[in-house]
Amino acid sequence: MAAYTDNFNTYSDGVLVGKGSWISGLNTMRVIDHEVVEYTDDDNCAAIFDQELDNDQYAQIKLVLINNEEDNFLGPIVRASGSGGTFKCYFLIIAYNVQYLGKFDATGSGWSSFGNADTTAPSANDIFKLEVDGTTLTAYKNGSVYTAVGTSGVATDSDLSSGKAGLFGYGWGPETYGDDFECSALNVPVCEQEGFQFRKDNGDNIGSQDEDAEVATETNTRLRILIDATDDPSSAAATLQYRRVGDPDSEWRNIE
């Protein structure tokens, strides 16, 4: 599974929900000049990116403009679910004056932070990423663990076990602008061709691994493809195809 991305370039100004893959999470998040902002009239807001991910997942956003106004937050969320009064998520939220790693639960205590907060002002084009693996949350800033939030960049919580990625904001804005959203599952199966082996119909090898073979057209011949894989990908992830030699316009056909 490749990462899902959104640069907001095709969206007109207005409410983010209903554009692209974005669905409602909490109140109203907006797009201005092809960037996402936390414009919510002094309230929490969230939008969920409507793509199914494994429960272990990440989300990230590049903050392109952070004006010198306090408590105008924007940041990535994971395991987000529900809408309005049932909305829940884990978040990494960024403002000019403070940054938090935490959790939001509209059915309970609202939002709460884990561990330490960072009061160092971020810079334009900083990239903030939040990942969840099991019960462990890890925050990143520009590719490195963001040790100034949580407990050295990490928090542990078991309340939210599933959901989708997205964005969370708070403030009267627009003050904090984001771009280049990205999300994906953490443990994406990877397949890599390791080699091939021609075999006779009785199962005996023809030559050595990765060695070409010439056989008569009428001779039943097997071709074994060797694939190295992480995790346990579906067999549907690999398809063997063929087409006529010397005919670039020949259609590729699947071997069933």
The per-residue pLDDT for range 132-173, each reduced to its tens digit, is: 999 999 999 999 999 999 999 999 999 999 999 999 998 876
Q: How far is 151 from 115, CA to CA, in rounded Å?
A: 5
Q: Do the beta carbons of residue 82 and residue 48 sit within 8 Å?
A: no
Q: How far is 209 from 56, CA to CA, in rounded Å?
A: 37
- Per-residue pLDDT, 224: 78
Q: Do the beta carbons of residue 88 and residue 80 sit within 8 Å?
A: yes
Contacts of 150 (CB under 8 A, 6+ apart): 101, 114, 115, 116, 137, 139
Domains of the chain: 4-185 (2.60.120.560), 191-254 (no CATH)
| DSSP letter string, 235-255 | GGG---EE--TT-TTSPPEE-
- Per-residue pLDDT, 104: 96
- Per-residue pLDDT, 71: 80
Six-digit token string for 120: 């160092």
What are residue 37's DSSP bridge partners? 30, 177
Average model confidence (pLDDT) across the chain: 88
pTM beyond 0.85, yes or no: no
Contacts of 46 (CB under 8 A, 6+ apart): 25, 26, 27, 29, 77, 80, 87, 89, 104, 166, 167, 168, 169
Q: How far is 256 from 253, CA to CA, in rounded Å?
A: 9
Question: Which parts of the chain register pLDDT below 50?
Answer: none
- Per-residue pLDDT, 190: 61
Helix, strand or coil, per DSSP, at residue 12: coil
